[in-house]
Amino acid sequence: MNKKSFILSMAAGIALINGAFASTPSKEVEAFDINTVEYIEDDEQIDLGFDVADYLPEGFNPYKMYVDLNAVEYIEEEPVIEDFSQYLPKGFDAYAYPTDVQSINYIDENDSFSIDFDTKKHLPEGFNAYIK
């Protein structure tokens, strides 16, 4: 048993030492210069099966501006401010600071519902969900 413990502790020690020295680089890393990377551009012609020039107008220049976007006049409309006070309760103040948590009421008519289902019929006798 003593021999097995010794071998196990030696193996664990060697693993820890290797892990400690794994983060230190064994040689210095040279600075990487991105300009030394050679990039080979592949000038491959793509054949679409038809000549696109046949579908463009005569004298078409893709670098010429045909539409001056600065000449377009935009109509600025004033925003319509609607009166939503008819939908709010009387005396409603959106900036009122609630004094405590009990004064915040979130009431939704859809939250109150009743289910006609008795779970006691489907649980064993003496069932208590709060017993550990």
What are the phi and psi torsion angles at 73 (to 5°)?
-95, 130
d(CA 4, CA 11): 11
Examine residue 83 and state whether it is found in any structural domain, yes or no. yes
Examine residue 96 and state whether it is found in any structural domain, yes or no. yes
Examine residue 92 and state whether it is found in any structural domain, yes or no. yes
Q: Which domain holds residue 70?
A: 47-108
CB 22 within 8 A of CB 15: no
Predicted TM-score (pTM) above 0.75: no
pLDDT digits (tens, 9 = 90+) for 4-25: 888 888 888 888 777 777 666 6
Examine residue 131 and state whether it is found in any structural domain, yes or no. no
pLDDT at 24: 63
Angle at 79 between CA 77 and CA 81, to 5 degrees: 150
- % of the chain residues with pLDDT over 70: 94
Examine residue 130 and state whether it is found in any structural domain, yes or no. no
In this structure, the chain runs to a length of 132
Examine residue 38 and state whether it is found in any structural domain, yes or no. no
Examine residue 127 and state whether it is found in any structural domain, yes or no. no
